[in-house]
Amino acid sequence: MAKIIAVCKSEEKGTKKEAVVEGILNEDYGLVGDAHADCCTHRQVSLLAIESIDKMRKLGFEVGPGDFAENLTTQGVELLSLPVGTKISIGKDVLLEVTQIGKECHSGCAIYREIGKCIMPKEGIFARVIHGGCVRAEDDIRIEKNGQ
């Protein structure tokens, strides 16, 4: 079963994010209290799989959820296989829409400065918030098939 491993936010861009017990995702905005939340962007929420983070751990890096500046760390879903437009339901209320796969890397992020490598540009995805609500670790993730 796919689920949320961690909810992470930071007050400043370009820094690692800290895990929080729960977060509020506002419709067409993002994670309340996070520096990347914005009503005027298609990258309101970022997602990265724990499986991607585990690849870095196997290379000897001590990294964890939030270190790659993702808002939601997931488990059990192949994020990179989700095409733009895919709807992702989280918990009881949250509905996201995938808007971008990967991103252009900028060498100024905290993880890149620390270890010289970042997986977010190739393995992270971005989404906009269609329906907001509370999100926390252990919430189930469901991929909506054919808009259903």
The residue segments making up the domain with residue 109 are 3-144
What is the CATH classification number for the domain harbouring 10? 2.40.33.20
Q: What confidence tens digit (pLDDT) does each residue in 9-39 have? A: 999 887 889 999 999 999 999 999 999 898 8
Tokens 């929420």 identify what position? 45
Burial class (CB in 10 A: 0-12, 13-18, 19+), 41: middle
Cα 86 to its chain centre, rounded Å, is 15
d(CA 38, CA 127): 12
Mean pLDDT of 107-115: 59
| Helix (H) or strand (E) segment spanning residue 110 | helix 110-115
Query: CA 81, CA 46: separation in Å to the nearest integer?
Result: 15
Check residue 121 and give its pLDDT. 59
DSSP string, 19-83: EESEEEEETTTEETT-TT--TT-S-SEEEEEHHHHHHHHHTT----TTTT--SEEEESS-GGGSP
Q: Is the pLDDT of residue 100 over 70?
A: yes
H helix and E strand count, the chain: 3, 11
User: Count of domains in the chain?
Assistant: 1
Average pLDDT over residues 90-106: 87
